[in-house]
Amino acid sequence: MIYEYDPIQLTIILSGLMGLVAMVLYIIVKAIEPKYPTRSGDAIEPYIGGEHPSILSRPFVPEANLYWSFIKRNFAKAYGFLKEKMHTGRFSDWVNYMTMWMALLFLISLIVIIVLITGGV
Amino acid sequence: MTEIYPFIMTLLSALVFPGLLFTIALALFTEWYIRKAVAHMQSRMGPTYVGPIGLLQPLADLLKLLSVKEEMKQKYSMTWLAKAFGVIGIGAMIACLFLLPLSPVRFIGDYDFLIFIYLFGVWVPISIIAMALSIPNPFAHLGVSRLLTFIIVTEPAYFAGLLVPVTFASIKAEPVYSIYTTSIKALSLWSNPYYIPFMIIALIAVIASIQAKAMLNPFNIPEAEQELIAGFATEFSGPILAIFNLLHDIDIAISALFVTYVFLGGPSPFNHLSVPGVLLLIIKYIAVVTIISVIRSSFGRYRIDQAIHVLTKYSLVLALIAVIAANIIVYVFH
């Protein structure tokens, strides 16, 4: 059986099916998981590799640094590359670079104008 | 009676085939196959005790964790939230299967590839991350931050790679940008000499990104046990660990299944309901999983910066080049 829908209807139907399957699985897990009596008083501490809990209150390197260091290092590389190419100190290089950049902008604007005039056909 | 029939069929598809029951069976078989294949390559025996040639070992592990092992309730944890997000992730992956020709009830439409991205590329990582953060722990936080760094590279690479055959298959076909259309036409794409190089590049990129998405060697950095205890799975125990293991296995199985359909055409040139068709589908699926196992057993773990570098080079850049070139070819020649 093939049912064809538009994307929004399809998203709603598949999200509904996702919810249905999740609900059934949750009920199954709840039904077969072991029922141990809840321990009161001796709640388990987070596992921190046998260290004293006081290390958690110490300042440490944020995890987000892993992401930002990667992004920053790569952008720094790109920036360094551009800096080396553009700022050589010679006037002719600067003129060359600016002419190329202006030519690119001119080309893009020309393409946009042509597309607008022809109606994108 | 005739009005209620489609609902019953949809319900059966969601819960039995290709829904919950079949997906769990496929995921556990895939886990067994990868464990057995990797063990064979490393001169070990792999699972042997439960069932014939250890076939039921993953099921036994799952049932033991679900029904026997105690769930440790840590001081700051919200265990129900971890379970809820785990089952939502599994539900999202099972809902994806309705887009494939494998399902007896198929929901198709224009741009259903985007819905695949929404279900598989958004809900699954969110559920893994939310599961880990429901039970806070310094090791879990480090694992999640490594996972997030990974997702930035692997998810765009996986979906851009799959977009290449989807783009080619959408030429003069309805519905456009659809997983269903692509699965039907995938095998014929390999006969066009202009498409073959880009299909190969995209296939390499997608297989590299599956390896990282599934956190298998050499990309098992988010759960590196020698550095982070168990990464984001450090505090998981009992039923939560069972749900997480199942989510992880289903993730590998569904990723490989979509490659089998979108790149290799599933059972084509035969039908789903013929014996050669089913055999061919199984062979193609096993071939994809075998490639994953070979890569897993051939490499040691990378450092996170090496891994990101390798993935960017062999997965993201290749996939982006292939998808841009595919669109140029389609625009110029058609």
Mean of the pLDDT values across residues B90-116?
93
Q: How far is A103 from chain B (nearest CA, A)?
A: 23
Q: Would you say B38 and B293 are in contact if contact means Cβ atoms under 8 Å apart?
A: yes
ipTM attached to this prediction = 0.91
Contacts of B20 (CB under 8 A, 6+ apart): A21, A24, A25, B14, B94
A42: contact with B, CB 8 A cutoff: no
Instruction: Quote the pLDDT of residue A87.
Output: 76
Q: How far is B146 from chain A (nearest CA, A)?
A: 7
Chain segment B48-69, per-residue pLDDT in tens: 999 899 999 999 999 999 999 8
Q: What are phi and psi of B182, to 5 degrees?
A: -65, -45
Distance CA A7, CA B99 (A): 12
CA B108 to chain centre: 20
CB < 8 Å to B67, chain A: 32-34
* Average predicted confidence (pLDDT) for chain B: 90
Q: How confident is the model at residue A52 (pLDDT cuts 50, 70, 90)?
A: confident
* CB within 8 Å: B123 and A5: no
Higher pLDDT, A121 or B99: B99
Range of weakest confidence among A43-52, B60-69, B202-211? A43-52
pLDDT surpassing 70 at residue A10: yes
- The DSSP annotation for B4-41 comes to THHHHHHHHHHHTSSSHHHHHHHHHHHHHHHHHHHHHH
Neighbour tally for B73: CB within 10 Å = 16
Distance CA B209, CA B320 (A): 13
A56: contact with B, CB 8 A cutoff: yes
Instruction: Match 């080619």 to its residue by tokens.
Output: B168
CB < 8 Å to A52, chain B: none
Which residues sit opposite B106 in a β-bridge? A2
Cβ neighbourhood burial of B184 (10 Å; 0-12, 13-18, 19+) = middle
Of B94, B111, B145, the CB nearest to A67: B145
Q: What predicted TM-score, i.e. pTM, was given to this entire model?
A: 0.86
pLDDT surpassing 90 at residue B138: no
The counts of H helices and E strands in chain A are: 3, 1
Instruction: Quote the pLDDT of residue B85.
Output: 95
Nearest Cα to Cα of residue B180 among B99, B258, B103: B99
Best probe of the B interface among A5, A36, A47, A72, by most B CBs < 10 A, is A47
* Average predicted confidence (pLDDT) for chain A: 83
Cα-Cα-Cα-Cα torsion B61, B67, B69, B71, nearest 10 degrees, comes to 120
CB < 8 Å to B114, chain A: 7
